[in-house]
Chains A and B, each alone.
Chain A
Amino acid sequence: MEFIAVFAPLIGFIITGIFGTKMGKWPSIVITCGAMFAAAAASIYLFYAVNLQHAPYTTVLANWLTSGELSVNWALRIDQLTVVMMCVINIVSTCVHVYSVGYMSHDDHQIRFMSYLNLFTFAMLMLVTADNLLQLFFGWEGVGLASYLLIGFWHHKHSANAAAQKAFVVNRVGDLTLALGMMGCFAVFGSINFDVIFAEASKYADTDFVLFGQHLHAMTAICLLLFIGSMGKSAQILLHTWLPDAMEGPTPVSALIHAATMVTAGVFLLARLSPLFEYAPEIRVMITLVGTATAFIAATIGMTQFDIKRVIAYSTMSQLGYMFFALGVSAYSAAIFHLMTHAFFKALLFLSAGSVIHALSDEQDMRKMGGLWKKIPFTYIMMWTGALALAGIPPFAGFYSKDIVMEAAYASSNWSGQLAFWMSLAAVFMTSFYSWRLIIMTFHGKPRSSEEVMDHVHESPSVMLVPLFILAMGAVFSGAFFYEPFVGGEKAAAHGEMSAGHEEAGHHQPEVVPHESGGEDTVWARQSFWGDSILVLDENDSLQAAHHAPKWVKFSPLAVGLLGIIMAYLIYMTGPGVPDKIRRAVPALHALSFNKWYFDEIYDFLFVRRAFGLGRIFTKADRKIIDRFGPDGGATASGATAKLFSRFQTGFIYQYAFVMMIAVISLLSWFVFRAGQGG
């Protein structure tokens, strides 16, 4: 079953990649979408077989390479965490595939597009099913490649090419440290297989690296490197600049890669390696701070952008910040829970935005929208659903996941958790503010686009609306439905639900925590759900504490969220001049937000120009010094040698024979000479 779930997209990619243009459009679409349906069905079955039956397993496909102590397999590690990720990836990917059939129908290269989507899905599945760091790295680079190909899909657009390159270069920084972290793991554990690493993590908790005479705490160093690696892919602050630009790609790509799946790879990585991060408390504080900063800063930027996709992109970044600080306070399962609900509602928002863009003949500027809600009511409802889920209004999915994340932060024993709670509370306000700003600017008020465009406005075809509907179902129900198993509270008499495998391998598992009032039978629902795939040390278990957070903590996000909606309504619906007045009242703050905190400008100044300057110096040095004595000199000499050799090649047999005889005689003379030397 896991083979279908993982390899169906690869097969789809290979078939359509090679024969796509020969087969024509429809067979290619059927193959790519069919592969995704099969994969999605298989992963849902796995969810039943693995997560509900508590039976994780690993399938070894082949030995990949063996070199000295390093032995790496191609394997599929099918455990609870993996299967949750597989379900999210395959279901969202299937929706996006179907949606793309309609969205890209006017594009000449739709076949290529569909096969790239298949390739991406496969790479992402490879990433989540890896049972060792190298295979994970393979998937990691694979999704990077697919992302690069898809951002630059419209390669005639200069901005798309630039964005693709930016994404690639920025991600290299993260990939470098990820590779270093992998080597660090090998140095400490002598293996890069997860099983070995997880089993021995506690043993090496106090190991030091000695580097240039300095003692470094090994776990801290490794986790720092791995964390920076995940920052690149998950667009955390400092390495986030590529994500908004990545919106140059087609909208389905933004939905699948830059909202639902690839950018969450960093979150997955950290959750997967929870047994390591549990022993690196300093790094978890750092993760919390970075996540908090990302959530806050991205939300402020989102409030002032005008490009509909960029608003959602910054919102994605902000939500990723939430997931990261959840990881930072050891609430790994809450982070994955938020990852899942976010995948549904963010994909929904993006695809709805795509539907709007499609309706308006590729207009993305919200200043040129407005008054659309009567013309495209279905999209309008979908956008509301997504926005309600994003803002965390019950009973939508975001309410459950965002609240548990924030409660965990509040309940965390660490000061950084408190900071995260208050900052994210501010971000909640901004989130609902910009979401309704988006809805109001897009759908309400007077139409601001030209008559001609407005006449063309039409609801998208049903092939685009059905995926929206499915995602909307996810955005509405996934929160309430999965709350108990993913992050749920105590459950009495849960012995029956604990699998044999869970008990056998129970020594990594935190001891079953007896609740103050409950007896020894108490077991956390989430612990039996996740099994061994996530490790939380007892003293760090913030989720346990989260369930006992004060009532006001539970309700404040909701209240603040509603406040944000009301503010947006007052400002954008009542008077058209209000936004301008506010802008003039706080020009500095507005400029900071509108210009995205000047990250691009600072990077341009610090790195890009320096790099160009350095490049120029090297060019000169290269031409003047190295070329003259190095390659050019070498090339001239090589040319001369070549001519010398070819001069021997006269074509006359007697000369060839002569050379052979001379060679034999020289060899003989050499031996005679050596014999004479007494050798």
Chain B
Amino acid sequence: MMAFDLVPLFPELFLAVTGMAHLIIGVWRGNHSTHFIFWASAATYVAAALILMGVSWGDAIVLNGMFKFDNFAGFMKLIILLGLLASAALSVKYLDDEGVSRFEYPVLMTFAGIGMMLMVSANNLLALYMALELQSLSLYVLAAFRRGSLQSAEAGVKYFSLGALSSGMILFGISLIYGYTGTLDYGTLSATLLPMQSIPVGITFGLVFLLAGLAFKISAVPFHMWTPDVYQGAPTSVTAFFAIVPKIAAMGLIMRLLFEPFAPVSGQWDQIVWFLSAASMMVGAFAAIVQENIKRLLAYSSIGNMGYALIGIAAVSSTGAGAVVLYLLIYLIMTSGVFAVVLSMRRNGKAVENISDLAGLSQTQPMLAYTMAILMFSMSGIPPMAGFFGKLVIFQAAVDAQMYVLAVLGVVTSVVAAYYYLRIIKVMFFDTPAPAFDGALPFARRAVLTLSVVFVLGFVLRPSLAIVIAKNAAGALFAG
């Protein structure tokens, strides 16, 4: 414990050093180097993943108890790096097309990535806050990245001010908890809470504030209001990034927080998570129905998906946690594929974002339409696509934990949600064709799309593989 062992931190350190090196190169060479920095960053993510796989995956607590590495952290970090890689691959060409190809973009992604990786390893409420802010500040800038656009600027401001409010809540919650327990360390916290006969109301209040702030980060209802506006306003590649990666890191953070230090008070937070999950599923399903803009639609879709993932947390079991990890992995891969299609929606050099713009895609670009259809089937949870298995394990965990209300609500809302996913397929295949989209897909985007579809279709061949890995990863949270 006292040893100043930095080995578990190597991936983060590596990212930080190369991120800053990229920043220096960027400042030196200007925006010409954007492409180089993009690919260098992508290579960095791969290298970081390799380093991550190289370090020992045993449990380790370093930095005076601030940072914890275990199977769960390792696996979540791998998923995060995968998401970063996918987002980087999706962004390059889009930024060129939009004329906002600036070198800060990949650098900010890298810094946000470091924040996210620290989030899932946080073992102290302060470390949690620091990591969260590192991630959030990078994201605020990215949301407003297209400075010239009023929408993008508005999205940035909205996200920033509401994000500041949520950070305030988190800090207030932390201070309440500190006041009642006298500690910020996860281990000590758990040891303090365990013998308590009755939970002081201050701790409950602290937990409510803390969870409310974190619910904002995963855009769980009713802290989701920013999501549709920011998703719509931000540049699409940033939206893709928002939808793919930070959600996963924040879920990882919440899981560690609830299952480790606050495990003794699961009776308290269980109700909050139950409420967030039910509300998110309902709003995600119903509000999406009337959306015409595909980015807004995907915003509600991500809200709904977080609702399903929260079911697994509300189950308070290692099966449930494993289900959440698997669900997040499948969600990440499906969403990357969907955004690869959305980013390709350009007509006459301008991005188009309405669902009606997809009309008759099956005739103008059949391959794109079929891949999108497969992804939509998967999103709506139709077997044998991967999305079906994600939902299946979640509902199984809910039934195991005898949370029949949530399980039934989940099934009902996924039927409602199927309506808007299938509507996209209907528009693509049965409506009179709109003019064709511009040109072919760039290589990187095509690669992301292909891999995503292959995963979605191929999952059924070896479902047990991913299920077992996810379960083992989540098992680390319940080990001690």
- The answer to whether A656 and B162 touch across the interface, beta carbons within 8 angstroms, is yes
> By the criterion CB–CB under 8 Å, are B209 and A653 in contact?
no
Which chain A residue has the least Cβ–Cβ distance from B162?
Answer: A656
Residue numbers in B under 8 Å from A649 (CB-CB): 225, 228-229, 287
User: Which A residues touch B286, using CB under 8 A?
Assistant: 638, 641-642, 645
Interface on chain B toward A: helix, strand, loop, or mixed SS?
Answer: helix
In the complex, A583→B315 CA distance in Å? 77
The reply to whether B208 and A664 form a contact with Cβ atoms under 8 Å apart is yes
Q: How far is the CB of A231 from chain B (nearest CB, A)?
A: 27
Docked CA distance A53–B462 (Å)? 34
Could you tell me if B225 and A646 are in contact, using CB atoms closer than 8 angstroms? Answer: no
Chain A residues with CB under 8 Å of B157's CB are 653
Q: Interface-forming stretch among B111-119, B125-133, B142-150, B268-276?
A: B268-276
> For residue B290, which residues in chain A have a CB less than 8 angstroms away from its CB?
639, 642-643, 646
Which residues from chain A contact B60 at a C-beta distance below 8 Å? none
Known A656-B162, A671-B204; 10 more pairs at CB < 8 Å: A62-B462, A63-B465, A65-B464, A66-B464, A639-B290, A651-B229, A657-B161, A657-B162, A660-B216, A664-B208
A selection of 29 A-B contacts at a CB cut-off of 8 Å is A63-B465, A64-B461, A64-B462, A65-B463, A66-B464, A74-B461, A638-B416, A638-B419, A639-B290, A641-B286, A642-B286, A642-B288, A642-B289, A642-B290, A645-B283, A645-B287, A648-B225, A649-B225, A649-B287, A651-B229, A656-B162, A656-B225, A660-B165, A660-B223, A662-B222, A663-B212, A664-B209, A667-B212, A671-B208
Question: Which residues of chain A have C-beta atoms less than 8 A from B204's C-beta?
Answer: 671, 675
Q: B287 to A646, Cβ gap below 8 A?
A: yes
Q: How far is the CA of A653 from the CA of B225 in the complex (A)?
A: 9
Residues from chain A with a CB closer than 8 A to the CB of B271 are 670
A660 touching B225, Cβ below 8 Å: yes
- State whether B228 touches A638 (Cβ < 8 A): no
Check if B162 sits within 8 Å of A660, measured CB to CB.
Answer: yes
Which A residues form the contact surface with B (CB < 8 A)? 62-67, 74, 638-639, 641-643, 645-646, 648-649, 651, 653, 655-657, 659-660, 662-664, 667-668, 670-672, 675
Once bound together, how far apart are the Cα atoms of A643 and B291, in whole Å? 10
Which residues, 185 to 208 on B, are CB-close (under 8 Å) to A?
201, 204-205, 208
Using CB atoms, name the residue of chain A closest to B271. A670
What separation, in Å, do the CA atoms of A310 and B208 have in the docked complex?
76
Whether the Cβ atoms of B464 and A63 lie closer than 8 Å is: yes
Interface flag for B166 (CB, 8 Å): yes
Contact status B165-A657, CB under 8 Å = yes
Could you tell me the distance in whole angstroms from the C-beta of B61 to the nearest C-beta in chain A?
32
* A668–B229 CB distance below 8 A: no
Residues of chain B in range 241-300 having any CB-CB distance to chain A below 8 Å:
268, 271-272, 275, 283, 286-290
Our pick among A65, A660, A667, A675 for the contact of B166 (Cβ within 8 Å) is: A660
- In the complex, A62→B465 CA distance in Å? 10
Confirm or deny: B37 has a beta carbon within 8 angstroms of a beta carbon on chain A. no
Q: Is the CB of B225 within 8 A of A675?
A: no
Verify if B81 is at the interface (C-beta below 8 Å from A): no
Residues of B with C-beta under 8 A to A64: 461-462, 464
Q: Is B214 an interface residue (CB 8 A)?
A: no
Number of contacts between A and B (CB, 8 Å)? 82
Assembly CA distance A648 to B461 (angstroms): 44
Q: Is the interface of A mostly helix, strand, loop or mixed?
A: helix
When chains A and B are docked, how far (Å) is the Cα of A203 from the Cα of B407?
Answer: 42
Q: A639 — which chain B residues lie within 8 A by C-beta?
A: 289-290
Give chain B residues whose Cβ lies under 8 Å from the Cβ of A668: 205, 208
The reply to whether B268 and A656 form a contact with Cβ atoms under 8 Å apart is: no
CB-CB under 8 A from B464, the residues of chain A are 63-67
B226 within 8 A of A: yes
CA distance A648 to B283 in the complex (A): 11
Complex Cα distance, B462 from A438, in Å, reads: 51
A671 and B205 within 8 A (CB): yes
Asked whether, in the complex, the Cβ of A660 is within 8 Å of the Cβ of B268, the reply is no
* Residues from chain A with Cβ under 8 Å of B288 in the complex: 642
A670 to B223, CA, bound (A): 17
Give the residue name and chain of the B residue nearest to A654 (CB).
B161
Is B446 an interface position by the 8 A CB rule?
Answer: no
How far does the Cβ of B156 sit from chain A's closest Cβ, in whole Å?
12
- Minimum CB–CB distance for B109 against chain A, Å: 26
Q: Which residue of chain B is the closest to A641 with respect to CB atoms?
A: B286
What's the minimum C-beta distance from B204 to chain A, rounded to whole angstroms? Answer: 5
CA distance A354 to B216 in the complex (A): 69
Q: Are A667 and B272 in contact (CB under 8 A)?
A: yes
Taking a contact as CB atoms under 8 Å apart, the answer to whether B201 and A659 are in contact is: no
List which B447-475 residues lie within 8 A (CB) of chain A: 461-465
> Which residue among B169, B201, B205, B287 has the maximum number of chain A CB atoms within 10 Å of its CB?
B287
Kindly list chain A residues whose C-beta atoms are within 8 Å of the C-beta of B216.
Answer: 660
CB of A247, distance to nearest CB on chain B (Å): 31
Which chain B residues lie closer than 8 Å to A643 at the CB level?
290
Contact A659 B222 (CB under 8 A): yes
When distances are taken between beta carbons in the complex, the residues of chain B under 8 Å from A74 are 461
Q: Are A671 and B201 in contact (CB under 8 A)?
A: yes
A642 partner residues in chain B, CB cutoff 8 A: 286-290
> How far is B157's CA from A501's CA once the two chains are assembled, in angstroms?
76
Task: Say whether B158 faces chain A, with CB atoms less than 8 Å apart.
Answer: yes
Across the interface, which residues of B come within 8 angstroms of A655, CB to CB? 225
Bound state CA distance, A646 and B272, in angstroms? 24
Are B222's CB and A660's CB within 8 A?
Answer: yes
CA distance A31 to B465 in the complex (A): 33
Q: How far is the CA of A675 from the CA of B387 in the complex (A)?
A: 40
Give the Cβ gap from A638 to chain B, nearest Cβ, in Å: 6
**Residue in chain B with minimal CB distance to A675:** B201
Q: How far is the CA of A663 from the CA of B216 in the complex (A)?
A: 11
Which B residues, 210 to 224, have Cβ-Cβ distances below 8 Å to chain A? 212, 216, 222-223
Q: Smallest CB-CB separation from A660: which chain B residue?
A: B223
Q: Tell me the minimal C-beta distance from B231 to chain A in angstroms.
A: 12
Residues of chain A within 8 A (CB-CB) of B416 are: 638
CA distance A667 to B465 in the complex (A): 39
Contacting residues, chain A, for B222 (C-beta < 8 A): 659-660, 662-663
Expressed in whole angstroms, the minimum distance between the Cβ of B223 and any Cβ of chain A is 5
Compute how far the CA of A67 lies from the CA of B393 in the bound complex, rounded to whole angstroms.
Answer: 12
B287 touches A653 (CB 8 A): no
State in angstroms the CA–CA spacing of A643 and B205 once bound together.
33
User: Which A-B residue pairs are the 7 nearest by beta carbons?
Assistant: A656-B225, A645-B287, A663-B222, A642-B289, A641-B286, A642-B290, A664-B212
Residue of B nearest to A649 (CB): B228
Given the complex, which residues of A lie within 8 Å of B212, measured CB to CB?
Answer: 660, 663-664, 667
B169 nearest in chain A by CB position: A664
A638 in contact with B463 (CB, 8 Å): no
Whole-angstrom CA separation of A62 from B458 in the bound complex: 14
Contact A672 B201 (CB under 8 A): yes
Q: What separation, in Å, do the CA atoms of A557 and B224 have in the docked complex?
A: 82
B396 CB, nearest partner CB in chain A, Å: 10
- In the complex, A653 Cα to B229 Cα: how many Å? 10
In the complex, what distance in Å separates the CA atom of A659 from the CA atom of B220?
A: 13
Q: In the assembled complex, which residues on chain A have CB atoms less than 8 Å from the CB atom of B462?
A: 62-65
Q: Which residues of chain A are near B287, meaning CB under 8 Å?
A: 642, 645-646, 649
Residue numbers in A under 8 Å from B272 (CB-CB): 667
Inter-chain CA distance A65–B460, complex, in Å, is: 9
Residue with the highest number of chain A CB atoms closer than 10 Å, among B162, B205, B289: B289
CB of A678 to closest CB in B, whole Å: 11
Closest to B216 in A: A660
- Contact residues in B for A670 (Cβ distance below 8 Å): 271
**Residue in chain A with minimal CB distance to B462:** A62
Q: Is the CB of B289 within 8 A of A638?
A: yes
Give the Cβ gap from B219 to chain A, nearest Cβ, in Å: 12
Chain B: minimal CB distance from A502 (Å): 35
CB-nearest residue of chain A to B157: A653
Determine the chain B residues whose CB is within 8 A of the CB of A62 once the complex forms: 462
